[in-house]
Structure 1
Amino acid sequence: MTALVPTEAGSKFNIPRATYRLQFNKDFTFNDAARIAPYLARLGISHVYASPILKARPGSMHGYDVVDHSQLNPELGTREDFDRLVQILHEHGLGLIVDIVPNHLGVMGDDNERWLDVLENGPAARYACHFDIDWRPERRSMRDRILVPVLGDSYGKVLERGELQIEFDAVNGSFSVRYFNHRMPIDPREYARIFAEPMPEELLPMDDAHRADFESLLNSFSNLPPRDDISAEAVAVRYRDKEAHKRRLARLIERSPEVMRHINDSVARLNGNPEQPESFDALDALLEAQAYRLSFWRVAVDEINYRRFFDVNDLAALRMNERSVFEGTHQLIFELIDAGSIDGLRIDHSDGLYDPEEYFQWLQERFGGGQGRRPLYVVTEKILAAHERLPESWLVHGTTGYDYAALQTTWLVCGDEESRMTRRYRHFTENEASFETLMYESKRLVMRSSLAAEVEVLATQLDRIAHLDRHTADFTRAALREAIREVIACFPVYRTYISPRGIGEEDRRIIHWATGLARRRSTGAEVSVFDFLRDVLLGTAAEGRSPSHRQAMLEFAMKFQQVTAPVTAKGVEDTAFYRYNRLICLNEVGGDPNRFGVSSTALHQANLERAKLWPHSMLATSTHDTKRSEDVRARIAVLSELPELWKQHLSRWSQLNRNKRRQVEDAAAPNREDEYLLYQTLAGLWSPELATEQLIERLQAYMVKAGREAKRSTSWIDPNADYETAVGEFIAQLLNNPERNAFLRDLSAFVPTVAFFGRINSLVTTALKITSPGVPDFYQGTELPAFTLVDPDNRAPVNFAAAAVQLEALADVNDLGTLLTDGNGASAKLFVTAKLLRLRADDASLFALGGYQPLQVEGEKKDHVFAFARSHEGRQCVVIVPRWPARLMGGVSELPLGDVWGDTRVQLGEAAATELRDVFTDERPRVQGEEMRLADVLSRFPLAVLRSA
């Protein structure tokens, strides 16, 4: 039996057996991770799965705002600290998977040298090709310039308040404009503008050598190649000479204090006086001559001309399709992989890449792969619709597991109660809109607001294409823009994958479907514009055209794909998911709130497909991205099993709390949608052990975020402080004064039932994750019950010392009943996790390579059982778990054990010929013929995992 399984025959890389996600930041460093290596090894983990470890913005708590791919993040430790971590991991039999961010870089501030190079030199920057910048926007004044939307107010007001200040770096001989923590270099070719007034003779005589050197330097700066000359020779000359001139200036001021004084006086004069608005004219003219335009941050909505990560202005997208960019940004990571320090990669936001398939091809080729071979373990963060499949041509091992998390939670939901739960939701909130309608409207909303500029770039491209043909030249820009918006709003997936290699049949079907639906929805008179857009995307409009015409259409299609993904993410996950709260455990990254439950057959089918196509895909249940931890979702799913109980308490809460709501702008605060969301959140989160003040603070922060994401009563762009204050006060009144709080007493009576069955759901989720085809992933701390909400709530520190003590204590547990009756099921979840991870460690190939067989269940309670077998080279593992335990037990908080199962039995199939032992009880359940009675196998513990004895 092998502990690890190679990714490919002859490969030095192994498939992880089980991963453990750690969130590195200034408060959790390489040294901290090294200290918990023994605990993770005892738990049964094979690989630490690290959040980004490259140099990020100072203070970053997540690491996705990388500013330098060539350095480790100094806040996490030194290179020696990292090497020591790797050494300790290896000593404990652990490997390292690292999350990398190829799509974007953190910009603004003053710590990204590549970005500063672009600001200083515009299109002539050495790193101009690294960023996805449109240097030819429609606004002529922005040609060869980049919008920098960092100002907190309009440009004129900020300028005349004196908040933009020119600074001189005497060490490097360079000038910049400073806006708080942002630094924007001044183009050296424009340095002469700083010295509009000549140096006074009384400072230095006209014949002074230092004066002559200074004037010569200014002339040399002015004669640098212009920014619009992007030939290789001009770029090289500009860089060489500007740096040489800066060094000369630095040496000159060391020799001449008079020159330094002249520089200081000129800078002071240029920086103006807030009492004299006209004193800023010279600074205004200087800034107008730069390769950037400083603007109010709101201007980005309409005019930004660099591609961003979603709508985040300080995360600029990279042109990863340029081989030089690919090689440069991956150099350190590749070195660490070659050194054996890193064993695999998680690729963040692959849908943002220009050509994901090409990117993965390059990645695997670097390690001897390609042509279908995947030597390096790679998983991709890819959000899949329920009907969508990961492209088999991608040289990855699967996804990061968001699809699994969504499917697993949806399976917990009792679909039989959909109509009753929907009626209760609609009655309470008065929200009659379908999720499809809200999704469509939300995507339209973000395209009119935060992502309007991205749509405008597409409209500009399509307008240029339309004018290349007299048959389409009459389409107006407004009509083209509207067609783009409508088609994206109708898109059923995050994106398609059109490339120079062609278009797949599934992508062709998606485009036909989306453009057809958009055409039918349109109220405009000229619907043929949708046919034109469809034909451009499909490439049929390029037939018979010139090579340049065909290339323009292909580039439009590929850029179009990079816009549909962020529109879907912002419109669906970050808007519609907060506007439709029927059952919020379904409102999860990769999930579909409209999909109220799935059958066990569907779960089996998904497991079979994964075993066949992606057997090493990650299986996640909680991540840094999930809006609610698995334990919160496990509780909320119980509400679907107890709709009448939920209805009764919800009605009481609405009455008890009606006087706690306030009127803000003639509307209730909280609104009914937010109130419904809050009650479900409390059902998933609350326990009497939680500190009241801390819980209030967490919920207040969460509801502010939820309200702003919903973009109805408040938003990120236009926060409504009165509404948010009212919601915060409402939360405080719900939870304060427990001795005379009727709502809190009723909540206390309701939640224990939900929590009891939620614990069973949580154990089931854990067992299925560890034993199903794929690689189980544990987000930090979730081996124990973790009741957390969306970030930053889910980034709270984990008490690993306490977890290690609990794990050690489990070695002596004999009474399984005590595991299930302790306060919050902490011991039971850790027990199941450790037992099953040890099982995987004992026989890694069974789970990495083994087959998957759904097992038939018969009897009166068959709908409440899910069972399957894993087999490999004669070895067997049978998994049996309960489903919908609250419904099974009639809402009575008792464990589903023994006789409650009646005549229900599992047909063991091939496993019947094998002697089986229960991993949890260490017993050998009786097999009658080819079947096993649940009353026997589930007599002491509510789930069973049986292995070959």
Structure 2
Amino acid sequence: MLRATTRLQLHAGFTLDDACEQVPYYASLGISHLYTSPVSRARPGSMHGYDVIDHSMVNPELGGLEALESLVARLRQHDMGLVLDIVPNHMAVHPGNAWWWDVLEHGEQSRYASWLDIDWHPGDATLDGKVLAPFLAEPYGHTLIGGGIRLVFDAVSQSHRLDINGVPYPIAPGTLCTAETGPQALVDLYDSSQTQGQQRLHELLERQHYRLAWWRCAPDSINWRRFFEISELMGVRVEKQEVFDAVHALPLRLYEQGLIDGLRIDHVDGLADPIAYCRQLRRALEQRVAARPGPLSEDQPWLVVEKILAEGEVLDDRWEVDGTSGYDFMDQAAAVLHDPAGEPLLTEHWTSIAQDGRPLRDVVHDARRLMLRRHFVAERKGLLRALSGLAQASVYTRDWTTDAIARTLDEVLVAFPVYRNYSQTGRRNQADAECLARTMRAVSAGLGPASDVEQSLLEVLDMWLGASPLVSAEGANTDIQQLQREAIRRFQQLTPPLAAKSLEDTTFYRYGRLISRNEVGSDPSVLGISSETFHQRNIERAGNLSRSLLATATHDHKRGEDVRARLAVLSEMPGQWAQISNKWLEEAQKIDPAANSVQVAERYMLFQTLVGAWPLGLAANDGEGLRLFADRVVEWHIKSLREAKLNSGWFEPDTSYEERSANFIHNLMAGRSSLPLIQDIEQFVDRIAPAGAVNSLSQTVLRLCSPGVPDLYQGTEFWDFSLVDPDNRREVDYAARRHALGMLGADTGIAALIKDWKNGWVKQAVVAALLRLRRERADQFSKGDYFGLPVLGSQSNRVLAFLRAAPEKDMFVVVPRLSSAWVGLGANEGLPLIDTASWEDTCVVLPRRYIGVTLRDVFSGTRLECSQDGVLRLADLLADQPLTVLLPAQG
């Protein structure tokens, strides 16, 4: 039974064989399934596996099929299993990708011409029947004259090909002049060092099925769907049955053979019809259940999707999936540990620093306009062409000009509130209809009455995007309906990358009110949520998605789970934080005066990063430790500058500005004059770190006890102070983790580990105890009900308590929240413990059937009796440890 997963990042430096070595450790920890990054053959040297070049085979760099089989055999010995991440949306454009190579060689005649998502007739004469290859480091002419394009003879295949800056490209059959008999004579004829050779090369390239172009041309001219705006990853048309079969042959075979137990679908919103795809994949898996070996034929396949859910958005029954990959839970578990009461002061402080009082929505809208104008130009043009075609196809809409449609479309795309809709022609569900209606109302209000043309177009645009099937003046028209389907598809495949790149990869690096809320799946405008809201989300999950993944750290997170937990403390002390951060910003001015408010805002987010990610035990006089930390922070900072796209960017990096910023960080961390400032930061971190650790442990318990399948991202059973990738994909010290787990005795309580809490053993002990409990009570966790428990008393807002109910197997969970002011006081100085007296009269109310019943704490074995008035006092529950999970005592 799938109880708990651990996510492992596979690559040439950590292969399937390396994962196999860690199976006994994860079995001892209590994990039921390894959940790995994609294992299909990827580009050589891939560090993540999402750049697949061959869906049909296990990546030889990871050890191939033999290593996969060995890993699964080891897992089965420990009653464990394997879950795979798969990538149906895209593939890497690479010479090793046979589909891509064949398309380059044969164009529209290739069997794969319709497998890859290419627009063969994009309305650009230079690309009619061709695919754009925007991979030149310099403009085409410079590359041609500079010798970057050569004709070469391949002795292995005994054929000629093109070598373009060291990358091989095929030559279309019949396009190479063969008047010269010898292979070398033909190469000499196309010698790029000679003017005539350059001209022949150019003419040869003009006869190919691809058009070489400078990489900067891609946003404006590309005629194939990309993953986001990455021009090395091409969309795959998995909606076609033959493509679906080819992409899924390997994972379906592995599932039927009992080598895997489930799948996580990467970027499902990129597909043409995500819901139909999930239903199709569910059917394909279910058809193979009976053929699985032994008792595996009794289990149903596990299927989750990587999807960002907006507020109020749900995965309904149409999807036929077990849930999401966990970003929604990651947001909720973090938000309930942030204090919403801190919002006014934090907002005021950010406004004064950034000199920008606009709401987050306006910042996001600016980012969306930028992405449309500079990064998704070609995708927007393709959608606009389809909409303009619809306009011209009807006598009622032919007067709408392309420019007017473009202006209106842009406003709709900017205001669109979710990642995407899932409409088909004339078949919108209620959620999609309400979403479009809300968008149109918002756009209408923003346009104002003066924009008569755009106001009138909104209703028409809504119709084009699926409100109703279109007909011509003569009645039903197949061409119009096909064009409408094309417009809907293009719209629905543009909004997800637009949303992701404008919010997660732009706004998150511009808007810095409190960066712990700038996380994948989160809305930074929502600082925190109440216990009641958290309970409601868990109740919904228990009822509909009890096998959904629960994550608090991922390979894609912006900050590690314990960075966010520590920064959450700042929401409880906004006034103090504003005062001390202002002091630091003033000191920073003495080191290197900031040029403008944007740079001051960058530094404010930098100081938050230093506070959140500061390694436990790092001292201000530890030169080597500070240097290593500074290197990590600089790598994060350069990436943040480029993602923000204000003072630098990926397309046009301002390397001088980046170098100055890097020097500032190194001087800040190592300069003699900055030592008092670094000492001040160290002291502040020491002050709030215990409260951050309490938040971390609360978050850990919430993940492991809430309805769903908890995931442990590699290595995060110890403290996780990682930053955005590649920092969050560093090597895991498994020896240290094995040693710590081996030192835990059966009766080792977390109270005994608190005094040395900085080594991370206490967090691992909590994980191990609760995973052991999940193994012992698998049915309770997978099927048990969820009820929020009433909390009474003066500090009731500082407690989150709930019941996981099952016949004769109830479990009570009590964790603190918003308690930083009472952490580490008196005898508990420097420890993640809450002052007992601070709880005053606060108590948790249990069901009446528990009056007088003795309960046992899972972590310590301590026994407590429920009072005659049916309550448990927090001062008793959390006297020696920061949280508790209770079971009815046996005997």
Alignment TM-score, normalising by the size of structure 2: 0.94
**What aligned pairs does 1:140-155 form with structure 2 within 5 A after superposition?**
140-155=125-140
Aligned to 1:466: 391
Aligned to 1:685: 613
Contact preservation (8 Å) 2:425, 2:468: no
Aligned to 1:445: 370
Deviation at 1:189, TM superposition (A): 2.4
CA distance in 2, matches of 1:181, 1:86: 39
Deviation at 1:551, TM superposition (A): 2.6
The AA in structure 1 aligned to 2:600 is R
Aligned to 1:271: 191
| Cα distance, 1:42–1:471 mapped onto 2, change above 3 Å | same
Deviation at 1:180, TM superposition (A): 2.8
Deviation at 1:518, TM superposition (A): 2.1
Deviation at 1:483, TM superposition (A): 2.1
2:38 to 46, 52, 55: 52
Contact preservation (8 Å) 2:547, 2:708: yes
| Cα distance, 1:71–1:144 mapped onto 2, change above 3 Å | same
SS in 2 for 1:62: coil
The AA in structure 2 aligned to 1:128 is A
| Cα distance, 1:271–1:477 mapped onto 2, change above 3 Å | farther
Deviation at 1:654, TM superposition (A): 1.3
Aligned to 1:526: 453
| Cα distance, 1:389–1:740 mapped onto 2, change above 3 Å | closer
2:12 to 6, 26, 48: 26
Aligned to 1:362: 280
CA distance in 1, matches of 2:749, 2:74: 35
Matched, 1:163 2:91: no
| Cα distance, 1:897–1:847 mapped onto 2, change above 3 Å | farther
Aligned to 1:591: 522
SS in 2 for 1:445: helix
Deviation at 1:534, TM superposition (A): 1.0
Contact preservation (8 Å) 1:616, 1:848: yes
Between stretches 550-559 and 806-815, larger displacement belongs to: 806-815
SS in 2 for 1:609: helix
The AA in structure 2 aligned to 1:378 is L
Deviation at 1:141, TM superposition (A): 2.2
CA distance in 2, matches of 1:903, 1:669: 47
The AA in structure 2 aligned to 1:52 is P
2:96 to 111, 114, 117: 111
Aligned to 1:629: 560
CA distance in 2, matches of 1:147, 1:18: 44
Aligned to 1:43: 29
Aligned to 2:318: 393
Contact preservation (8 Å) 1:622, 1:629: yes
SS in 1 for 2:375: coil
Aligned to 2:798: 864
Deviation at 1:174, TM superposition (A): 3.2
Alignment TM-score, normalising by the size of structure 1: 0.88
Deviation at 1:433, TM superposition (A): 2.0
The AA in structure 2 aligned to 1:766 is T
Write out per-residue CA displacement over residues 87-116 of structure 1, whole angstroms, 9 at most, x where no aligned residue.
111111110000000000011x31111100
| Cα distance, 1:387–1:887 mapped onto 2, change above 3 Å | farther
CA distance in 1, matches of 2:166, 2:845: 67
SS in 2 for 1:136: coil
Matched, 1:879 2:788: no
| Cα distance, 1:739–1:299 mapped onto 2, change above 3 Å | closer
Aligned to 1:235: none
Aligned to 2:645: 711
CA distance in 2, matches of 1:737, 1:824: 27
CA distance in 2, matches of 1:520, 1:645: 40
Deviation at 1:78, TM superposition (A): 2.9
Q: Mind listing any 5+ residue stretches in structure 1 that lack a counterpart?
A: 5-15, 200-258
Deviation at 1:462, TM superposition (A): 0.9
Write out per-residue CA displacement over residues 267-294 of structure 1, whole angstroms, 9 at most, x where no aligned residue.
2221321xx4454111101101111100
Contact preservation (8 Å) 1:669, 1:726: no
| Cα distance, 1:184–1:168 mapped onto 2, change above 3 Å | same
Matched, 1:932 2:866: no
Write out per-residue CA displacement over residues 362-411 of structure 1, whole angstroms, 9 at most, x where no aligned residue.
111113369xx993100100000122111321111000000110111111
CA distance in 2, matches of 1:825, 1:618: 28
SS in 2 for 1:111: coil
CA distance in 1, matches of 2:184, 2:54: 32
1:838 to 758, 772, 775: 772
Question: Pairwise CA RMSD of aligned residues?
Answer: 1.9
CA distance in 2, matches of 1:948, 1:823: 28
Contact preservation (8 Å) 1:649, 1:746: no
Aligned to 2:542: 611
Deviation at 1:669, TM superposition (A): 9.5
SS in 2 for 1:346: strand
Contact preservation (8 Å) 2:426, 2:466: no
The AA in structure 1 aligned to 2:834 is P
1:753 to 675, 687, 700: 687
CA distance in 1, matches of 2:65, 2:157: 28
SS in 2 for 1:526: helix
Contact preservation (8 Å) 2:591, 2:674: no
SS in 1 for 2:61: coil
Deviation at 1:339, TM superposition (A): 0.8
CA distance in 2, matches of 1:80, 1:656: 58
SS in 2 for 1:518: helix
Contact preservation (8 Å) 2:857, 2:886: yes
Contact preservation (8 Å) 1:864, 1:888: no
| Cα distance, 1:93–1:910 mapped onto 2, change above 3 Å | farther
CA distance in 2, matches of 1:421, 1:292: 53
| Cα distance, 1:911–1:419 mapped onto 2, change above 3 Å | farther
SS in 2 for 1:294: strand
Aligned to 2:419: 494
The AA in structure 2 aligned to 1:333 is P
Aligned to 1:696: 630
Contact preservation (8 Å) 1:878, 1:911: no
Between stretches 90-99 and 420-429, larger displacement belongs to: 420-429
Contact preservation (8 Å) 1:164, 1:271: no
Deviation at 1:500, TM superposition (A): 5.5
Matched, 1:342 2:260: yes
CA distance in 2, matches of 1:888, 1:856: 22
Larger Rg: 1
Contact preservation (8 Å) 1:688, 1:748: no
Aligned to 2:220: 302
**What aligned pairs does 1:486-565 form with structure 2 within 5 A after superposition?**
486-499=411-424, 502-522=427-447, 524=451, 526-527=453-454, 528-540=456-468, 542-543=470-471, 544-565=475-496
Aligned length: 862
Between stretches 711-720 and 276-285, larger displacement belongs to: 276-285
| Cα distance, 1:501–1:541 mapped onto 2, change above 3 Å | closer
| Cα distance, 1:62–1:937 mapped onto 2, change above 3 Å | same
Write out per-residue CA displacement over residues 668-695 of structure 1, whole angstroms, 9 at most, x where no aligned residue.
4970121011000011011364522211
Deviation at 1:168, TM superposition (A): 2.3
Percent pairwise identity: 39
SS in 1 for 2:161: strand
Between stretches 547-556 and 784-793, larger displacement belongs to: 547-556
Aligned to 2:408: 483
The AA in structure 1 aligned to 2:777 is D
Contact preservation (8 Å) 2:149, 2:192: no
SS in 1 for 2:571: coil
| Cα distance, 1:847–1:483 mapped onto 2, change above 3 Å | same
The AA in structure 2 aligned to 1:672 is V
Deviation at 1:413, TM superposition (A): 0.8
Deviation at 1:899, TM superposition (A): 2.9
2:604 to 669, 676, 682: 676
Aligned to 2:294: none
Contact preservation (8 Å) 2:585, 2:604: no
1:899 to 837, 841, 846: 837
Contact preservation (8 Å) 2:425, 2:484: no
| Cα distance, 1:867–1:467 mapped onto 2, change above 3 Å | same
Contact preservation (8 Å) 2:172, 2:208: yes
CA distance in 2, matches of 1:648, 1:519: 42
| Cα distance, 1:146–1:524 mapped onto 2, change above 3 Å | farther
| Cα distance, 1:87–1:815 mapped onto 2, change above 3 Å | closer
Deviation at 1:36, TM superposition (A): 0.6
**What aligned pairs does 1:280-359 form with structure 2 within 5 A after superposition?**
280-359=198-277
2:88 to 98, 102, 118: 102
